[in-house]
Amino acid sequence: MPRLRFLVRGVVQGVGFRPEVYRLALEAGLCGTVWNHAEGVTIEAQGPADALARFEQALRESMPLPARVEAVAAEAIPEVPAEVDFRILPSGPGGEGRAVVPPDLAVCPACAAEVATPGERRHRYPFTNCTRCGPRYTLIERLPYDRPHTAMKGFPLCPDCEREYRDPLDRRFHAQPVACPTCGPHLTLRSPAGTVLAEREEALQTAATALVEGAVVALKGLGGYQLLVDATSSEAVGRLRERKRREEKPLAVMFPDRASLELDCELSLAEAAWLEAPEAPILLLRRRAGGAVAPGVAPGNPRLGAFLPTTPLHRLLLGAVGRPLVCTSGNLSDEPMAYEDAEARARLGGLADLLLVHNRPIVRPVDDSVLRIDGDGPTLLRRARGFAPLAVPLALGGPCVLALGAHQKNTVALLKGGELIMSQHLGDLASLEGAGVQERTVTDLLDFFGARPERIACDLHPDYASTRLAEGLAKAWGVPLTRVQHHHAHGAACAAEHGLKGPVLALAWDGTGLGADGTLWGGEALRIDGAAFSRIGHLKPFPLPGGEVAAREPRRAACGLLWATQGPGEAPPSLAGAFSAGDWARFQTMATRGVNSPLTSSVGRLFDAVAALSGLRAKRGFEGQAAMTLEFAAGEQGEGTYPWDLQDGVADPAPLVAAVLADVAAGQPAGVIAARFHGALAELALAWAKRAGLPDVVLSGGCFQNARLTALVQATLGAAGFRVHRPRRFPANDGCISLGQAAVAAATPIGR
């Protein structure tokens, strides 16, 4: 009888793939073997030709989630005459480390039912999992993915779990985190000083009672510590904000179940599907009026970051509390999330009243992913749990590249063999802790995927922690270092995601990034062709009095914009209350003399300035707040527009500023001004697209997280016949920069 060997690559380890192969082989009457190794999974199957054909078709088309088959290579091999059964073999090393490391997945319905059912062996056990759910990336130490190579190696299996683990027809067959109350991790409730207050079920119930009474609880979750409070209590939310130093930035809310979520949020069919998907991201949903969630959770925001419990522990805790909980990263603002126990006690002891912890180590931090459903589909805003570090096939040839990403919203990317492996969202690198997490992530990716980079890529900015790390690695390994301009990387990332090879127009609009001329770019129309780019158009630069401080104070951006477009003068009435005595004159003087007033072409700072001029926001509490305020103010207003003075691709906003001031003076509502401003940007995008004359336009940069702006630009360009592409699987913000750097470096000729 014929015998075939299949090499299967994709998400095929730690997701119940081998038991499914075993079941398919038994149904087809085949004999043979299946085993894991560092390249993926190898199957040898023997039997009638028609049975082998059905088996191969099922491999390619019918494997259940969360498995994901990306490639199947089949070859004929000699028959084994004495073989009569099908066996699952132990894992072997093999290959070049190309297997995809499985991401962490939310609890599956079968495990959730076990936890909820009295009499089941795992009734109310917070660490229940199987091959289709539970921790993966957060506990893997090295490949192949077997229990001795994970954080579960310190929990020997009891006889009952051992029996499940060894049974090929059990859904826990070789589920590496498998555990039960007898042999697995358990809960402990501690005081901020570390004193043990309760264990196991008592710990959970005591924490739930404290949450109902208004306490802040630090929870050791799947990929790090989270801070929890009662989302329906304004006092509790205010207490958390004060301690976390997060005055206004929206907080995510975890709801006990879908029914309670729908009392506070509108939910479409597409959103519901993502809400209950294995990735279980935070979804940005439209809020309902009169919901139970306190207004202070997301002040002034028509959307709420909402999700369902992702682990049995979260389910049990939410069930005991019986109300939605704020669930936010365990850190102070701008710090990385705490994930090691000693570190968490040191960093969170002053923030939390209690710490609900467990004794399963977290190998690496992984935050929650964030996703929004727009009119034309999903948009990933933060790529983390559930998505990272999945490999994404991209049509990018060239050398193996390690890209170190941006300074904020950092990710690290590895390009190898036509696949892009992007790390989880790592956050900002301004702190030593943040830089340390990035270094460990680089080591992880290289070790997991057996990679030896032939080129390193980083940002142009010389002072970023990522740049310094890239320089050190390139020197240590003796490989070329490619420095990629920030907005070139933005455009290249979106082009690579959509497989665009030829020249494209990239509209890269964001806060700021170091430009090729030494100024701060951020409102760019770039012609991108692989490793090369040229500036087709840009916003006319204006000064930012105070430099980086201006990013936190829209009033300064407004002052600099007025100085650049109307010359020195008095503050307009809409800004009069935004400046103390002498501030306006001081900022104007700084701009005139060029003292600590760098020039920028940033659309993000233009958003800030218009928000201040229209009276909406003179200072901000978090990044992007002024722009968000302007987006939300536009609401359902008519589109309208403001004029530009466009000369040789340079967009002078002087006419726009004059029109904004005239509308303010005429008493036009801020919403009308906001809508007209968005319309003006769409018209500018069209003017630049016509100037470039390229059929494909890619949108990237933090400004395109703005749903109204993105939809308006897409519609305007699409109506004019342009093919418009925007980020989907990767964020539009700086989370995509590592992808763009990798794409540019891969296309860069040797010696450059």
Domains of the chain, CATH where assigned: 3-88 (3.30.70.100), 187-358 (3.90.870.10), 373-488 (3.30.420.360)
- Given a cut of 60, whether residue 94 has pLDDT beyond it is no
Q: What is the mean pLDDT of residues 369-381?
A: 93
**What residues are paired with 532 via a beta bridge?**
529
Nearest to 710 by CA among 718, 699, 723, 720: 699
Nearest-CA neighbor of 72 among 1, 12, 132, 3?
A: 12
Give dist(CA 23, CA 41) in Å, integer. Answer: 15
Residue 449: which pLDDT band, with cuts at 50, 70 and 90? confident
pLDDT of residue 8: 92
Is the pLDDT at 85 greater than 50, yes or no? yes
Name the residue among 370, 598, 601, 348 with its Cα closest to residue 487. Answer: 601
Determine the pLDDT at residue 93.
57
Residue where the block lists tokens 């014929």: 2
- The SS3 assignment for 651 reads strand
> pTM for this one?
0.91
- Are 536 and 487 in contact by the 8 Å Cβ rule? The answer is no
Which of the four pLDDT bands, split at 50, 70 and 90, describes residue 669?
A: very high
Cα–Cα dist 192/22, whole Å: 49
The answer, yes or no, to whether residue 139 has pLDDT greater than 80, is yes
* 23-47 average pLDDT score: 90
The span from the first CA to the last CA of the chain, in angstroms, equals 55
If you count them, how many residues does the chain have?
752
**29's tokens:** 């009457």
Q: Which residues contact 468 (CB under 8 A, 6 or more apart)?
A: none
Q: Which two tokens stand for residue 379?
A: 């948009």
Contacts of 618 (CB under 8 A, 6+ apart): 553, 554, 555, 575, 577, 578, 612
Q: What is the pLDDT of residue 144?
A: 75
Mean pLDDT, the chain, rounded, equals: 93
pLDDT score of 330 more than 60? yes
pLDDT, tens digit (0-9, with 9 covering 90-100), for 228-265: 999 999 999 999 999 999 989 999 999 999 999 999 99
Q: Which residues contact 158 (CB under 8 A, 6 or more apart)?
A: 180, 182, 183
The greatest distance separating any two alpha carbons of the chain, rounded to the nearest whole angstrom, comes to: 94
Strands 196-199, 370-374: pairing kind: unpaired
pLDDT at 618 over 50: yes
CB within 8 Å of 751: residues ≥ 6 apart = 480
Least confident window among 316-330, 505-519, 570-584: 570-584
Helix (H, G, I), strand (E, B) or coil at 665: helix
Per-residue pLDDT of 268-277, as tens digits, reads 999 999 999 9
620: Cβ–Cβ under 8 A, 6 or more apart, which residues?
552, 553, 554, 608, 626
Q: What is the pLDDT of residues 530-540, one digit of tens each?
A: 899 999 999 99
- pLDDT(206) > 90: yes
pLDDT of residue 100: 61
Contacts by 188-196 with C-beta closer than 8 Å and gap 24+? 188/356, 188/357, 188/358, 188/359, 189/354, 189/355, 189/356, 189/357, 190/345, 190/354, 190/355, 190/357, 191/354, 191/355, 192/345, 192/348, 192/349, 192/350, 192/352, 192/353, 192/354, 192/355, 193/349, 194/345
Question: Residue for token digits 């760019």?
Answer: 524
